[in-house]
Amino acid sequence: MSASQMMKVFVTRRIPQEGMKLLQKASMCDVLLWDSDEPVPHAELLKKVKGAHGLLCLLSDQIDAEVLDAAGPNLKVISTMSVGFDHLAINEIKKRGIRVGYTPDVLTDATAELTVALLLATARRLPEGIQEVKSGGWSSWKPLWLCGYGLSGSTVGVIGLGRIGLAIARRLKPFGVKRLLYSGRQPKPQAGEVDGEHVALDSLLCESDFVVVSCSLSPDTQQLCNKEFFSKMKNTAVFINTSRGAVVNQEDLLEALTSGQIAAAGLDVTTPEPLPTDHPLLRLNNCVVLPHIGSATYSTRGVMAQLSAQNLLCGLTGDAMPNELTL
Ligand SMILES: O=CC(=O)O
């Protein structure tokens, strides 16, 4: 293929080899990589994307009208190495006739596992316990020390029983969960598998011992978890969010945690990301914050990279993508 027929692809970060190899093998592609583990600065993104036919990006890259304009009319496909796509200006993308690939399913298990780990770490106060061991605060076995909340006999409420929500529910049930509630627009047939009860959000909040947020970020869910939301939760309830930070009003969460309105929170996602190290949430013992690592297993990230590369290449050749977002 002559240089003028080659299609330009910009990859916004180092990604696992499984994906890079596929792109490098594709004879029609001229691949430009932002060869770093850190995000490409916005000004560089605008430069590097110029004239690209394909863009492989991550959830931390905001792909807005400015980026699309900088790319210009060649851009045929955007492939995001994520299941979430709230970082993409979908209306602008649709207007320009650009196709979008994403990576659902392949990260469901890893994200559900991480959610369970975070729930248990938060409810059983693992970070506090580890800190006490290291600091010499562990003086003896004490009946009233570092007690938390258990899943056995509990009611769990899942907000958004989609692929990941269901995988979380499946994993939590064997801990002896008594009732599994879920909210969402309509009952889901697959909820039967976990004996899930479809309830109104208010009932879920009033009745649950653990509230797990697993919905995607949309105008409907933005700031869903606010003062009113937390005020309906039990004082002994634990709040877990592994979806997107913007689903939560963090000021209101901080207030709920410091006032004792709720018992504890575990967050894998925050606003902003990274959360500044002096953020007040990080000073609380009853808040466990992780750095958005839901899908971070070696194999999952490998498969995500591979799928993103496949989506991108199919988008360039005009073929059906393994996972194309319906716009
Ligand atoms: O948050 C993770 C993803 O959207 O893949």
Does residue 108's CB lie within 6 angstroms of at least one atom of ligand 1? no
pTM of this structure: 0.96
- CA dist., res. 101 & res. 53, Å (int): 14
pLDDT band at 2 (very low <50, low <70, confident <90, very high): low
Which atom of ligand 1 is closest in space to residue 103's alpha carbon?
Answer: 5
**3-class secondary structure per residue, 209-256:** CEEEECCCCCCCCCCCECHHHHHCCCCCCEEEECCCHHHECHHHHHHH
pLDDT tens column, 51-80: 999 999 999 999 999 999 999 999 999 999
- CA dist., res. 238 & res. 287, Å (int): 10
Does residue 295's CB lie within 6 angstroms of at least one atom of ligand 1? yes
Q: Shortest CA distance to 9 belongs to which of 39, 46, 50, 42?
A: 50
pLDDT tens column, 181-222: 999 999 999 999 999 999 999 999 999 999 999 999 999 999
Site to probe by mutation for ligand 1, drawn from 80, 107, 307 as the one with most ligand atoms within 8 Å of Cβ, is 107
Residue 325 CA to ligand 1 centre (angstroms): 14
Residue with tokens 């979430």: 84
Does residue 183's CB lie within 6 angstroms of at least one atom of ligand 1? no
pLDDT tens column, 298-318: 999 999 999 999 999 999 999
pLDDT band at 3 (very low <50, low <70, confident <90, very high): low
Does residue 83's CB lie within 6 angstroms of at least one atom of ligand 1? yes
pLDDT value of residue 154:
98
- CA dist., res. 188 & res. 35, Å (int): 43
- Residue 8: its H or E element: strand 7-11
> In the annotation, is 292 catalytic?
yes
- Residues above pLDDT 90, as percent of the chain: 98
Site to probe by mutation for ligand 1, drawn from 83, 164, 297 as the one with most ligand atoms within 8 Å of Cβ, is 83
Residue 59 CA to ligand 1 centre (angstroms): 7
